[in-house]
């Protein structure tokens, strides 16, 4: 596991110190999902993130949530978050207006293994909102295109109207040496793409397991099947990386909520090598 | 070099309080309140529970009079130093609205408190909290401020309660480290004397100021012997070294279901546990809606909301929550922090309204944990 997090996270700053972030823009991605651009205080370490890390976003008087950063790690003047409005706090965040302020802490957690993946192919497998935490890794690969082999992006959503970043996704697919495919559970009459769970896309792509690093984020059930599928296709456990989700209150390993066996998902994760998660993936109510 | 050991008379404890106050410490001590022993500010030695003891058993805690006037003749009460070092409620941050929003956070100030009568198990609990809250990647500055100002005066246990199992956890009954002064009470006729050993420079300098009397030869040996007989008298035990392996192979053991039928998921065990550190965050809005406070409050892994994420909670059943709690105490903590999360204080046994006994649970798991329940195999469909 990468120890670099210790230097890139806001270490040295008291755990609960929160800085104001000014909302620069709110845009609607889908019927329930929004992307926010937040301007951190100039030069603040809260913006020094690596792909896969998350921030704690705080709406005063309402609450605080861990939200993955979904923007380009090469553009740190604005922090980007893609949020599905499903609860009190997420609703309050996505209904903020430009010029409003929210509280920021972080960045926290382990990053995607973009350094390890250098010189190799990258396979991205995303489910639903899980594409958001993976997008910084995609941006990283695109920005350093020569340092990586093929980039395969497989994305599953519930229905066409739930797919994120649709224009951008289509544009990724037009770039050389990139394969980007989406599939949905329910297509509807106008959908002409794939229908089925994301693992059904595996047979359409050339995976080259020996030279590929896989990064997965989505519902646990999706990652459970995707990891099995990848293993059966010859991926070693150490080549597969997952981003896990658990309840988090502090992000620093002190509130206890995010424990998963021996791990605190907030500080030992959220990105784990599959070798660490495999013993836990099938344990019900762990 | 052997540390100098002192002899204190009961009346010297008043001078000790005086000395501590002069050094800027607010003394705290165990006191009898609401039929239980509780840590409270100590104004005088007369407030110590002289002549009182406690009897404990699963789901039972009672105060009873002793036949002598021992000052420390009781065992641990429902609270511990956790209450004072890692308080049940603390303000983390204030948000003030002024057109925009301003976040105000005051660095917590050091609080100087001297705790008189800390048991060996509770010293171990402080060491466990130190490890989690101070020696991990991030530091909890509220705990740090409280901990930096804490002076710990231990009292060795020369007898054990029926619920004690500190000997098996390696944390007691005698204080071995982590104290400033360790006392061993020698109950006499009407008043007590104490063998006093310094454990730090501060402790040594306090004792040096208090008395010139060295402990008589033989007192140290007698103290060691009484602590050893207290250890030998313990009827409960957990095999701390084998516990992680036992827990690993019993994830689907039927014992968890049986215990879950008794467990009320009330969270008493986590409240009284001196090492349970989990917290939740609450928002408190000012009535004029011009500011809000973020409050950190104790939480319990026995609540449904503890593991809630969008779509539902991870641990929906009391079975899974009890399993999480016990597994964390005796197995996962070891992996996370290199030490057990249980000190053998026995509080969770006495304060569980259903009388669920962690030592009995471990014994039951161990007795029937053959190869039938390999780790990682779930009996639940996916």
Q: Examine residue A107 and say whether the peptide bond preceding it is cis (omega within 30 degrees of 0).
A: yes
Q: Which residues of A touch B377 (CB under 8 A)?
A: 282
DSSP-derived secondary structure letter, B14? H
User: How big, in percent rounded to 5, are the helix, strand and coil portions of chain A?
Assistant: 30, 30, 40
Q: How many CB atoms lie within 10 A of CB A46?
A: 25
Q: Choose, out of B85, B94, B101, the residue to mutate when testing the contact with A (most A CBs < 10 Å).
A: B101
Tell me: pLDDT of A112 over 60: yes
Element housing A7 (H / E) = helix A5-8
**Count of CB contacts below 8 A, A vs B?**
133
Locate the domains of chain B by residue range: 6-80+108-232, 243-367
Contact between A252 and B101 using a beta-carbon 8 Å cutoff? no
* B337 in contact with A, Cβ within 8 Å: no
B195 closest CA partner among B172, B218, B171: B218
B256–A contact, CB cutoff 8 A: no
Q: Does B211 touch chain A (CB under 8 A)?
A: no
Containing H/E element for B250? none
Following DSSP, what letter does each residue of A127-193 receive, concatenated?
EGGGHHHHHHHHHHHHHTGGGS--EEEEEEESSGGG-SSHHHHHHHHHSTTEEEEEEES---TT--S
pLDDT, tens digit (0-9, with 9 covering 90-100), for B214-270: 999 999 999 999 999 999 999 999 999 999 999 999 999 999 999 999 999 999 999
The Cα–Cα gap between B318 and B214 comes to: 55
Phi, psi of B370 (to 5 degrees): -75, -155
Judge: A259–B279 Cβ closer than 8 Å, yes or no. no
Please indicate if any CB of chain A lies within 8 Å of the CB of B92: yes
d(CA A162, CA A184): 9
Beta strands in chain B (DSSP E): 6-9, 26-33, 36-41, 52-57, 60-65, 89-98, 100-104, 113-118, 150-155, 181-187, 192-198, 279-285, 291-298, 308-309, 312-313
Burial class (CB in 10 A: 0-12, 13-18, 19+), B122: buried
Give CA angle at A99 (A95, A105), nearest 5°.
75
Is B301 near chain A, with CB under 8 Å? yes
Task: Tell me, yes or no, if B95 comes closer than 8 A to chain A by beta carbon.
Answer: yes
**B291 within 8 A of B276, measured Cβ to Cβ:** no
Inter-chain CB proximity B310 and A250 less than 8 Å: no
Q: What is the pLDDT of residues A244-280, one digit of tens each?
A: 999 999 999 999 999 999 999 999 999 999 999 999 9
- Quote the tokens at residue B231: 């250890």
Helix or strand or coil: residue B312? strand
Which residues, numbered 183 to 242 in chain A, qualify as contacts with chain B under a Cβ-Cβ cut-off of 8 Å? 221, 224
Top pLDDT among B1 and A126 is at A126
Contact A65/B at CB under 8 A: no
- Looking at the complex, report in whole angstroms how far the Cα of residue A251 sits from the nearest Cα belonging to chain B: 10
Q: What is the DSSP letter of A62?
A: T
pLDDT of residue B312: 92
The answer to whether B288 and A68 are in contact (CB under 8 A) is no
pLDDT band for position B189 (cuts 50, 70, 90): confident
Nearest CA in chain A to B305: A247
Q: What is the DSSP letter of A199?
A: G
Closest CA to A69 of A145, A120, A139: A139
Residues in contact with A107: Cβ distance below 8 Å, sequence separation at least 6, in sequence order: A8, A9, A10, A46, A48, A49, A50, A53, A54, A55, A69
Closest in A16, A87, A264 to B92, CB measured: A16
Residue A278's nearest CA partner among A254, A251, A252, A260 is A260
- Scanning the structure block, which residue is given the tokens 């100002």? B149
**Could you give the dihedral angle defined by the CA atoms of residues B108, B110, B114 and B117, in that order, rounded to the nearest 10 degrees?**
40
Under 8 Å between Cβ of A94 and A37 = no
What token pair was written down for B327? 């597994």
Contacts of B108 in chain A (CB under 8 A): none
Indicate whether B105 pLDDT > 60: yes
Q: Report CB contact under 8 Å: B278, A253.
A: no
B335 touches chain A (CB under 8 A): yes
- Model confidence pLDDT, tens digit, residues B38-95: 999 999 999 999 999 999 999 999 999 999 999 999 999 999 999 999 999 999 999 9
CA-to-CA distance for A204 and B340, rounded, in angstroms? 49
Contact B294 A246 (CB under 8 A): no
Residue with tokens 């005698």: B174
In 3D space, the residue among A105, A67, A99, A59 whose CA is nearest the CA of residue A83 turns out to be A67
The pLDDT score that the predictor gives to residue A1 is 28
C-alpha angle with apex A222: B324 to A183, nearest 5 degrees? 160
**CA–CA gap between residue B173 and residue B230 (Å, rounded):** 7
Q: Would the CB atoms of B279 and A255 count as touching at under 8 Å?
A: yes
Whether the CB-CB separation of B66 and B51 falls below 8 Å is answered with yes
Flag whether residue B145 sits within 8 Å of chain A, measured between CB atoms.
no
The tens digit of pLDDT for each residue in A116-126 reads 999 999 999 99
pLDDT surpasses 70 at A11: no
Give how far B57 is from chain A: nearest CA, Å. 29
Mutation target to probe the B interface, by most B beta carbons within 10 A, among A32, A222, A262 is A262
Q: Does A23 touch chain B (CB under 8 A)?
A: no
Given this model, what pLDDT does residue B190 score? 84
Contact B306 A6 (CB under 8 A): no
Categorize the per-residue pLDDT at B310 as very low, low, confident or very high, splitting at 50, 70 and 90: confident
Fold designation for A5-108? Elongation Factor Tu (Ef-tu); domain 3 (2.40.30)
**pLDDT tier, B382 (very low <50, low <70, confident <90, very high otherwise):** very low
Over the Cα atoms of chain A, what is R_g? 18
Cβ–Cβ below 8 Å for A103 and B101? yes
Q: CB contact, 8 Å: B257 with chain A? A: no
Pick one of 3.40.50.80, 1.10.510.10, 3.20.20.210, 1.10.760.10 as the CATH number of A121-243: 3.40.50.80
State chain A's mean pLDDT as an integer.
93
User: Is B351 in contact with B268 (CB distance < 8 Å)?
Assistant: yes
Q: Which residue of B has its CA nearest to A261?
A: B332
Cβ–Cβ contacts within 10 Å for residue A256, how many? 23
What is the per-residue pLDDT for B2? 60
Minimum mean pLDDT among B66-75, B81-90, B96-105, B289-298: which range? B96-105
Strand A151-157, strand A178-184: pairing? parallel
Contact A136, A52 (CB under 8 A): yes
Q: What is the predicted pLDDT for the residue at A51?
A: 98
Cβ separation of A16 and B378 shorter than 8 Å? no
| Per-domain boundaries in chain A | 5-108, 121-243
- pLDDT value, residue B149: 97
Distance between CA A7 and CA B98 in Å, rounded? 34
Q: What percent of chain A stands above pLDDT 70?
A: 96
pLDDT per residue over B142-165, tens digit each? Answer: 999 999 999 999 999 999 999 999
Task: Check B93 against A16: CB less than 8 A apart.
Answer: yes
Q: What b-and-e string marks burial along B33-62, b requiring 16 or more CB atoms within 10 Å of the CB?
A: eeebbebeebeebebbbbbbbbebebeebe
Would you give the distance in Å from CA B243 to the centre of its chain?
20
Residues of B in contact with A256 (CB under 8 A): 277-279, 299, 301
Cis-peptide, bond into residue A270, ω within 30° of zero: yes
Using only the alpha carbons of chain B, give its radius of gyration: 22
Beta bridge partners of B36: B33
């Amino acid at each position: 596991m990468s120890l670099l997090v210790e230097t890139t996270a806001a270490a040295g700053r008291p755990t609960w110190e929160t800085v104001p972030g000014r909302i620069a823009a709110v845009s609607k991605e889908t019927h329930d999902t929004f992307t926010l651009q937040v301007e951190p205080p100039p030069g603040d370490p809260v913006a020094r993130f690596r792909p896969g890390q998350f921030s704690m976003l705080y709406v005063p008087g309402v609450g605080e949530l861990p939200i993955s950063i979904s923007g380009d790690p090469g553009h740190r003047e604005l922090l980007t978050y893609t949020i599905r409005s499903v609860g009190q706090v997420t609703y309050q965040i996505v209904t903020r207006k430009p010029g409003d302020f929210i509280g920021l802490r972080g960045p926290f957690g382990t990053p995607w293994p973009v350094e390890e993946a250098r010189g190799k192919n990258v396979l991205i497998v995303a489910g639903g909102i899980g594409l958001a935490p993976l997008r910084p890794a995609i941006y990283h690969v695109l920005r350093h295109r020569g340092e990586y082999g093929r980039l395969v992006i497989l994305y599953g959503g519930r229905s066409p109207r739930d797919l994120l970043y649709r224009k951008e996704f289509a544009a990724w697919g037009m770039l050389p040496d990139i394969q980007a495919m989406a599939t949905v559970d329910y297509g509807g009459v106008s959908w002409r793409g794939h229908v089925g769970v994301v693992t059904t896309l595996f047979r359409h792509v050339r995976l080259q397991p020996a030279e590929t690093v896989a990064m997965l984020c989505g519902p646990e059930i999706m990652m459970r099947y995707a990891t099995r599928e990848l293993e059966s296709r010859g991926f070693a456990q150490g080549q597969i990386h997952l981003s896990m989700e658990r309840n988090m209150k502090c992000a620093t390993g002190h509130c206890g909520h995010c424990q998963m066996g021996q791990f605190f998902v907030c500080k030992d994760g959220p990105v784990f090598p599959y070798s660490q998660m495999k013993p836990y993936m099938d344990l019900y109510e762990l | 070099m052997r540390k100098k050991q002192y002899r204190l008379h009961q009346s010297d404890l008043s001078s000790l309080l005086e000395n501590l106050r002069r050094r800027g410490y607010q003394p705290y001590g165990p006191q009898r309140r609401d039929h239980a022993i509780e840590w409270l500010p100590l104004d005088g030695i007369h407030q110590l529970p002289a002549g009182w003891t406690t009897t404990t058993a699963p789901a039972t805690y009672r105060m009873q009079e002793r036949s002598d006037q021992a000052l420390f003749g009781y065992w641990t009460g429902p609270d511990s130093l956790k209450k004072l070092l890692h308080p049940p409620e603390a303000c983390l941050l204030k948000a003030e609205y002024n057109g925009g929003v301003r976040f105000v956070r005051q660095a917590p100030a050091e609080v100087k408190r001297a705790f008189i009568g800390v048991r060996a198990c509770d010293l171990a609990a402080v060491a466990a909290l130190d490890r989690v809250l101070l020696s991990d990647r991030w530091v909890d500055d509220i705990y740090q401020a409280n901990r930096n100002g804490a002076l710990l005066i231990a009292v060795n246990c020369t007898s054990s309660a029926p619920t004690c199992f500190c000997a098996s956890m390696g944390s007691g009954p005698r204080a071995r480290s982590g104290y400033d002064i360790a006392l061993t009470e020698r109950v006499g006729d009407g008043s007590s004397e104490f063998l006093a050993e310094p454990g730090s420079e501060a402790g040594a300098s306090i004792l040096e100021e208090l008395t010139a009397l060295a402990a008589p030869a033989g007192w140290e040996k007698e103290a060691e012997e009484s602590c050893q007989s207290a250890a030998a008298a313990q009827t409960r035990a957990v095999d701390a070294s084998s516990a992680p392996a036992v827990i690993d192979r019993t994830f689907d053991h039927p014992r968890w279901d049986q215990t879950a039928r008794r467990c009320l998921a009330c969270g008493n065990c986590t409240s009284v546990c001196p090492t349970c550190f989990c917290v939740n965050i609450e928002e408190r809005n000012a009535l004029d809606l011009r500011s809000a406070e973020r409050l950190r409050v104790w939480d319990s892994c026995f609540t449904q909301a503890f593991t809630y994420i969008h779509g539902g909670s991870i641990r929906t059943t009391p079975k899974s929550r009890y399993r999480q709690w016990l597994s964390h105490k005796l197995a996962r903590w070891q992996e996370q922090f290199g030490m057990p999360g249980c000190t053998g204080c026995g509080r969770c046994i006495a304060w569980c309204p259903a009388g669920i006994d962690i030592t009995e649970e471990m014994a039951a798991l161990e007795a029937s944990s053959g190869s039938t329940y390999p780790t990682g195999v779930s009996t639940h469909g996916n």
